[in-house]
Structure 1
């Protein structure tokens, strides 16, 4: 039944992009979050049934064939339409072409200019940003799902990030919906749900149920806290509601309830999800009509189904044979692998235990933690920038202002951590607005995203009193470096756990009559 659920969700996103919704709740984010849960479920199912340990590269190959051929074909169709009709002032640059071909950078459209349609600031397939997010999840989920420690630790960290976003402590649109650190626990919940409902493995069932219950209650608690302090609407509540509804919905519609045509419905959902936005623009362009109408909803829905059906009966049918051969190859590879695993494990263990590898791993981890800490806290690296006398202007009432030496706004604004010092002495007193500076007597300052307002310590003119004024502000690393740090941490934790478990396994295999160490789990 998951196939039908996917198709309904795809049409839900379509309706959302036509302007339909329920009050302040956005139907699109709710449906996308349920897609996250189902994607985690699919990954766990594939790993359990077709891709045992040692066949990870075959898993990646199968996922590539599932995602990329259909995406590439619909991207080509969309490009021909937009460039042919001239809708949205399409413009190809090296960056946006690279982003569309490799897909993953589309998830970072809020940081990099990957838009092709300049006048509306969209990519050729606007919904592909969530596909890029799912690809990132597919890359790391196989490394996490087989380790209870990694699932629990990373899932709880992600849940905390999501909870902060629900309460608008951090940007809810980024960390609660679009970036992997804040939604990773949703993918993991789907994978754990498979273990509870369908996996034949008996180990870890108690942990799996505990994880699902903790995640669901954690999101509910975050929403209740946000509601009680009046920040629920600020925290983008739709993704939270999507998880609260989507997890029970995925449980109810598990594949133990089978309906005819479910596989075809699931295949159609992918094409409908990707192509409906270009079809909406095509309807508006050719019919010159309002898109929020029943006529447009029916027309775009039918057109999306037709395009998706053509893709399924051509590209997907051909690719399915290749994907089937990969799963068969994974099964045969697993049988051969079991005979060679002991020797290979010892070889890998020697490499993982070597001091150069451990040193490199430690340096990368420390560098990632430092980059994240510097970006979030703003210490220990700071910069002092003197304010030239000719850059100071008077704003009246003894208040003077100058431009800040940085202009880019970050999720944690740098200006809130900027200090103003006079003659190299301790910082002046900060107040929170320029109006407070005007009401104060002397020796205070306030900052905005581009300006600093201040009064000198004795009320004199800073342009003529002979004193030096300087701004001290944190050096914030580029956003790509911070994101890279999070990705490295997400990868290194399960990698370290995997190495530790491998050491236990090899040690136990070398002593067949010994009782495994309690630390092996």
Structure 2
């Protein structure tokens, strides 16, 4: 799934440069696939290494070592770029000690809409706050077998949001109660049994029908409800199929670039705004992406890869060098 994850990061990046497809935001569609992948990978990681309550703290440390190294680098880089090249701008005004401290703790990034952190210092990072919230609950859902109940409750919240009874953007896309079932679709795909496959198949069909109804005007178009339902309908079968492909070194390499591109493209956008205020044409977008790939290559090998060794030391029972393990580790 490495190449797929890089494609998703690229879709997020181009969406932030104003690219849409038939009026749909490709970045939102891509984020839903990221959630499904996360559910798949975290279930694999917990079942193989952290499958008891006594190991949950180690799981949290594992996840912090995964997310923080590159995040800290690009967050600090964004602060510098914003302050030096965009003085007095909305992002620059967010550079206060309380906002920066809250954002650095990551979880509050997922609650920016309540004023507890900054959205504008590194905008794509709000979803890392959502990821961290998922990490906090998934060990308990798996260990205590609460996954089915959590799935049903989350679907209920999402339906209310999709129809506009509660804030569609927040509860249908950005906050865990309404999107937990998307993570859990990925979880059900890992070692899927007949019950799990029935759940994800029904979810795929339901999401596809909701998307069709929204686009046909039967259901009122609300912020991102079309993109989220489309992302769910497309993301589940994509993850199912890709998770069954064999490990390939090129795929792993491309996947290693995805997290850096996801984080660094907005730093590059801010840097570009510091010198230029034109519109994004194809050449500018391509240039930003090429620089994003190059930076991601450097930060993966110089910053994230050393932390990778620490993460692996936490894990028990990982078979070093095995093809299955290497394929999984490329995602973890």
Whole-Å separation in 1 of the counterparts to 2:66 and 2:116: 27
Aligned pairs for 1:384-399 (under 5 A) are none
Q: Which has the larger radius of gyration?
A: 1
- Contact 1:41 1:187 survives alignment (8 Å): yes
Aligned pairs for 1:54-73 (under 5 A) are 54-73=54-73
- Contact 2:77 2:267 survives alignment (8 Å): no
The structure 1 residue matched to 2:310, chosen from 312, 322, 331, is 322
Whole-Å separation in 2 of the counterparts to 1:157 and 1:218: 16
**Can you give the 5+ residue segments of structure 2 that lack an aligned partner in the other structure?**
320-332
Show the counterpart of 1:215: 203
Matched position secondary structure for 1:22: coil
Matched position secondary structure for 2:249: coil
Whole-Å separation in 2 of the counterparts to 1:128 and 1:74: 10
Pick closer, same or farther for the CA change 1:329–1:49 going to 2, 3 Å. closer
- Contact 2:157 2:177 survives alignment (8 Å): yes
Whole-Å separation in 1 of the counterparts to 2:182 and 2:69: 26
Matched position secondary structure for 1:173: helix
- Contact 2:108 2:116 survives alignment (8 Å): no
- Contact 1:167 1:225 survives alignment (8 Å): no
| Structure 1 residue 62 displacement after superposition | 0.8
Show the counterpart of 2:142: 145
> Which fold has the larger relative contact order, with Cα–Cα distance below 8 Å and residues 6 or more apart in sequence?
2
Show the counterpart of 1:85: 85
Whole-Å separation in 2 of the counterparts to 1:124 and 1:159: 32
Show the counterpart of 2:324: none
- Contact 1:10 1:31 survives alignment (8 Å): yes
Whole-Å separation in 2 of the counterparts to 1:325 and 1:135: 21
Show the counterpart of 1:17: 16
| Structure 1 residue 217 displacement after superposition | 3.2
Whole-Å separation in 1 of the counterparts to 2:97 and 2:82: 18
Once the two structures are superposed, what CA deviation does each residue of 1:175-198 show, in whole Å capped at 9, x if it has no partner?
A: 1100100000000111110121xx
Pick closer, same or farther for the CA change 1:248–1:93 going to 2, 3 Å. same
| Structure 1 residue 110 displacement after superposition | 1.4
Pick closer, same or farther for the CA change 1:225–1:84 going to 2, 3 Å. closer
Whole-Å separation in 1 of the counterparts to 2:39 and 2:144: 15
The structure 2 residue matched to 1:164, chosen from 156, 160, 164, is 160
- Contact 1:34 1:243 survives alignment (8 Å): yes
Whole-Å separation in 2 of the counterparts to 1:212 and 1:43: 17
Q: Using structure 2 for the length normalisation, give the TM-score.
A: 0.88
Once the two structures are superposed, what CA deviation does each residue of 1:455-474 show, in whole Å capped at 9, x if it has no partner?
A: xxxxxxxxxxxxxxxxxxxx
Matched position secondary structure for 1:73: helix
